[in-house]
Amino acid sequence: MSTATPLKIAVAGLGTVGGGTVQLLHDHAALLAERAGRPLALVAAAALEKPAGLPLDGVAFHRDARTMAGEADYDVLVELIGGADGIALDIVRTALERGKSVVTANKAMIAHHGVALATLAEVKGGAIGFEASVGGGIPIIKSLREGLAGNRVGKVMGILNGTCNYILTTMRSQGRDFADVLAEAQTLGYAEADPTFDIDGIDTAHKLAILAALAFSMPVDIGAVQAEGIRHVSALDIQYADELGYRIKLLGVASLSEAGVETRVYPAMVPLSFPLAHVDGVFNAIVTEGDFVGRTVLEGRGAGARPTASAVVSDLMDLARGRSLPTFGVKVAALAPRPQAPAGAHRSAFYIRLMVRDEPGVFADIAAALRDEQVSMEQVIQRGRAPSETVPVVMTVHETDEAAMLRAVERLTRLSSVAEPPRLIRIEAL
């Protein structure tokens, strides 16, 4: 056993991730001490109630996390309560003001307050670790801050929300509709009772804002992320995607070009030839593109007690070894704001599904609406006839400006033969 001074740890929040972290620190205590050169000692923990079954013997237990953060004797506060504001933000600020370091899994807090917290850490001499905030057990923060430090990163993208990926995977494999699979995901615990945060892309947006800051050495800007969720994706769209050689995935995409930075969250058709197409269930995967290293792909479990606890403890190990980096890879003063690329300038190929009344002249009207906006059709799928009903017409179009595509969709919506709003999904060029 090492006789070196222990790293004294206080954990706030003993839910799924907090419990997993406590268990990992206990189960791997000897291994961690050997690898870090000093023990990692859990000295304090806070939660509303002391959970049964966790190895908390000899650990000072607090029912008030604010009191623990302000008064306990620790080196690093592990914040696992969650939420952008409130008690989580309060205790992190308190710890940093005391000159302590912080490890957190709180992507919302980092996305909204990361720069201010990083500034406070620099002034007071602490460090902030947040590996667990993006991708669960996937070491993407360390990859961007350290492994790719010699590269200019031009793009980072990925499947960043396991709930959405589970829903889309199940819809495809079982041919079921969104609402049905969402209800099942809630029953199984994969989705919250209020799933808005996940299915409307907000969770992915928080994570993407963090990745963009790290990749492009810019301040975190959650307000610049354009987010679109998966509510409108239907089993029919997924069926056609399969036929066309794609999988539909909710992607977070951050890219840097001469036009500026784009940070967008949207469901996209991903070619079967690309690794992200085959990441299923609750798994996450993240792709980076660097000028020297080229493309890298990291895949793993994006949530859960054990994978996320693994990421929390990786940050604790760095602190135990005396290793710390600026929060976003460079000092706050070196984070350079970057212009946002014009929204309508984004270029993509697109999938469009129309539900139309089967009547003469329909295709001529559709073609004219696209032609008038300089949008070129690539392929069309229509099968059968149903004069008394609506039928699907599916098209893919060549790469075009998004602004032009949206104008064409507006024209299509106004056609008397189109019975419901067109469904538009981007085709990701990879």
Which tokens is 66 given? Answer: 């604010």
DSSP state of 340: B
CB 5 within 8 A of CB 43: no
Burial class (CB in 10 A: 0-12, 13-18, 19+), 49: exposed
260 in the Ramachandran plot: left (φ > 0), alpha (ψ -120 to 50) or beta?
left
Inter-residue contact 233 to 178 (CB < 8 Å): yes
Q: Beta strand 246-257 with 260-271: parallel, antiparallel or unpaired?
A: antiparallel
User: In 204-242, which positions are buried (b, 16+ CB within 10 angstroms) versus exposed (e)?
Assistant: bbbbbbbbbbbbbbbbbbbebbebbbbeebebebbebbe
**Catalytic-labelled residue, pool 100, 107, 207, 249:** 207
Alpha-carbon span 373 to 366, nearest angstrom: 11
Q: Does residue 50 have an active-site annotation?
A: no
Rounded CA-CA distance 195/313 in Å is 28
- Rounded (10°) CA dihedral 299, 300, 303, 304: 180
Gap between the Cα atoms of 337 and 316, Å rounded: 30
Alpha helix (H) ranges present in 245-398?
Answer: 305-320, 362-372
Q: CA 396 to CA 267: how far, in whole Å?
A: 15
* Phi–psi pair at 44, nearest 5 degrees: -150, 150
How far apart CA 422 and CA 353 sit, in angstroms, is 6
How many C-beta atoms lie closer than 10 Å to residue 87's C-beta?
Answer: 18
Tokens representing residue 39 in the block: 């023990």
* Catalytic positions, written as ranges: 207
